[in-house]
Chains A and B, each alone.
Chain A
């Protein structure tokens, strides 16, 4: 399959498309935490790195199949998500933002100082298993799963917590439990994304998973529109492609990128697709068409 695709396009485009998909999976995870449940996490990259190192070490030392490594990478990230989430969510307010910020730095320092991860020199020689087909299959699977979650009793409970925690609690929702479940699912996706990243880049360095990477992923979600899946996908696409398209202006590209962000936030503070509900638009359109038809039937 990949061979067929690569005959149409060059490896550079494929690489950019794969990276974009990998970030999309991470951003979709953060979308569930921040966009749906309303909890700010500033350490998303740390969960990527946990998934990345776990799966890379499994590939290098155990030789286990790629799919299993992806899964275990995701589960490991989710496990740390739960361990961090339990104490953070017990406090009321936005403490998760602070603890995730600290957690991100700790994880980075741990990976720099561990021998098995290659320390600051990084971990190389990871087999290249990730390709554009695998990445986008998982992107589609993640989007499908998130749509189903959001339109269920579980997803509505998460939305209720985002909107009004006191009211949610009075509706019979246990906020601690639901925040934890949402956070575990979101960090699971981050772990899977990290595992894909490791087997795409074939080299890992703790410095790649610092605060700036976490912030970048948060940007994807916020720029696209908090709480919107199409928004998250669009935000990730725009912000990963923009630096590539801006390569011709070289040293000015980060300047333009920054200006783009500022303009965005002034003109669309809720993000590109913030506040736009395609499902609702579709239902309205259908209802309108139906009433038009009914009218015609009466007249005819």
Chain B
């Protein structure tokens, strides 16, 4: 089976800084793969390249057999990659429902004329968008808050709304950038259940996360980045015992 997502020799320089160096990565359909590493290892940069926010300095990105290197974020989204942001990027002054509706954007077609005329086709599309939005809000447990302004949600709820907004476009691949950051143990447990449900829907998940317990219990495979280089890859158990990984996180033993 060919990979859903494939990165080949991906390299990104920011001026003189090599953020990610010659990174190879593969993701099969239906997998949950985590990318971990100390702060500044280049994890979020990898996400930003996959989702098209930064163009890579060198290397290629393939999705579903198609070369998506240097594509704009709005084109990549249409191909079926949805993401959440580490530092929450919600549409703060809009309602929860509108946030999710905007997530459905690339699955609709209505333009200016459609909006003005509201022909039957446009109304039908709005109905589909509304149903889809309510469905994903139900999944993340925010259905009772649809009229609330996004800014007024609690922190954990805002993170869940980010996931709902990404799910609304019916993606093939979901990129989660530190979904559990700032959540309490209870919220983390709920999030894990939620991700299992999302996985059961057939959506492939790639996540960046700092919480090791969380990563280890949900991932099929874990890749470790340190200073822009992949230092380990394997099942959670293998990675946990890898001496290189232990050194990267805890430093080497001297004397």
Chain A interface (Cβ < 8 Å from any Cβ of B): 145, 148-149, 151-157, 159-160, 163-164, 166-175, 181, 185, 280, 283-284
Complex formed: what's the CA distance from A263 to B15 in Å?
A: 48
Q: Can you list 8 A-B pairs with a CB-CB distance of less than 8 A?
A: A153-B105, A157-B105, A169-B74, A171-B165, A172-B74, A174-B74, A280-B95, A283-B147
Q: For chains A and B in complex, what number of residue pairs have CB atoms within 8 angstroms?
A: 101
B93 in the interface (beta carbon within 8 A): yes
How close is B211's CB to chain A, nearest CB, in angstroms? 24
B118 engages A148 (CB within 8 Å):
yes
B112 engages A149 (CB within 8 Å):
yes
Q: Ordered nearest first, which 5 A-B pairs have the shortest CB separation?
A: A172-B106, A152-B115, A163-B91, A172-B77, A167-B89
- The answer, among B72, B83, B112, B118, for a CB contact under 8 Å with A181, is B112
B102 engages A156 (CB within 8 Å):
yes
Q: A154-B110, A163-B90, A167-B90 are in contact. List 9 more A-B contacts (CB 8 A).
A: A149-B112, A153-B105, A154-B112, A156-B98, A163-B93, A164-B90, A166-B53, A168-B102, A171-B169
How close is A185's CB to chain B, nearest CB, in angstroms? 7
- The answer, among A148, A149, A159, A169, for a CB contact under 8 Å with B91, is A159
- The answer, among A148, A163, A164, A175, for a CB contact under 8 Å with B116, is A148
B73 engages A169 (CB within 8 Å):
yes
Complex formed: what's the CA distance from A217 to B114 in Å?
A: 29
Which residues of B have CB within 8 Å of A163? 90-94
A170 engages B77 (CB within 8 Å):
yes
How close is A138's CB to chain B, nearest CB, in angstroms? 15
A160 engages B147 (CB within 8 Å):
no
Once A157-B102, A164-B89 are accepted as A-B contacts, the answer to whether A170 and B114 lie under 8 Å apart by CB is no
Complex formed: what's the CA distance from A172 to B129 in Å?
A: 15
Which residues of B have CB within 8 Å of A175? 74
Complex formed: what's the CA distance from A113 to B126 in Å?
A: 51
B51 in the interface (beta carbon within 8 A): yes
Complex formed: what's the CA distance from A61 to B108 in Å?
A: 46
A153 engages B74 (CB within 8 Å):
no
- The answer, among B91, B98, B105, B118, for a CB contact under 8 Å with A172, is B105
Complex formed: what's the CA distance from A145 to B113 in Å?
A: 10
- The answer, among B82, B89, B110, B169, for a CB contact under 8 Å with A153, is B110
How close is A53's CB to chain B, nearest CB, in angstroms? 26
B147 engages A169 (CB within 8 Å):
no
Which residues of B have CB within 8 Å of A152? 110, 114-115, 122, 126
- The answer, among B74, B122, B125, for a CB contact under 8 Å with A173, is B74
A159 engages B118 (CB within 8 Å):
no
B85 in the interface (beta carbon within 8 A): yes
Complex formed: what's the CA distance from A160 to B106 in Å?
A: 13
Which residues of B have CB within 8 Å of A145? 116
B102 engages A160 (CB within 8 Å):
yes
Complex formed: what's the CA distance from A167 to B103 in Å?
A: 10
How close is B137's CB to chain A, nearest CB, in angstroms? 16
Which residues of A have CB within 8 Å of B92? 163-164
Complex formed: what's the CA distance from A173 to B102 in Å?
A: 9
Which residues of B have CB within 8 Å of A280? 95, 147
A166 engages B89 (CB within 8 Å):
yes
Which residues of B have CB within 8 Å of A173? 74, 102, 105
A153 engages B108 (CB within 8 Å):
yes
Residue of A nearest to B112 (CB): A154
Residue picked from B53, B89, B125, most chain A C-beta under 10 Å: B89
Complex formed: what's the CA distance from A168 to B90 in Å?
A: 9
B111 in the interface (beta carbon within 8 A): yes
A153 engages B125 (CB within 8 Å):
yes
How close is A291's CB to chain B, nearest CB, in angstroms? 13
Complex formed: what's the CA distance from A152 to B111 in Å?
A: 8
B190 in the interface (beta carbon within 8 A): no
Residue of B nearest to A165 (CB): B89
Which residues of B have CB within 8 Å of A174? 72, 74
A169 engages B112 (CB within 8 Å):
no
How close is A60's CB to chain B, nearest CB, in angstroms? 32
Complex formed: what's the CA distance from A167 to B77 in Å?
A: 11
Complex formed: what's the CA distance from A174 to B85 in Å?
A: 19
B78 in the interface (beta carbon within 8 A): yes
Residue of B nearest to A145 (CB): B116
Complex formed: what's the CA distance from A160 to B89 in Å?
A: 11
How close is B196's CB to chain A, nearest CB, in angstroms? 24
Which residues of A have CB within 8 Å of B125? 153
Complex formed: what's the CA distance from A171 to B170 in Å?
A: 12
How close is B231's CB to chain A, nearest CB, in angstroms? 29
B43 in the interface (beta carbon within 8 A): no
Residue of A nearest to B92 (CB): A163
Which residues of B have CB within 8 Å of A148? 115-116, 118
Complex formed: what's the CA distance from A164 to B83 in Å?
A: 15
Which residues of B have CB within 8 Å of A181? 112
Complex formed: what's the CA distance from A163 to B115 in Å?
A: 21
B101 in the interface (beta carbon within 8 A): yes
Once A152-B114, A163-B93 are accepted as A-B contacts, the answer to whether A171 and B102 lie under 8 Å apart by CB is yes
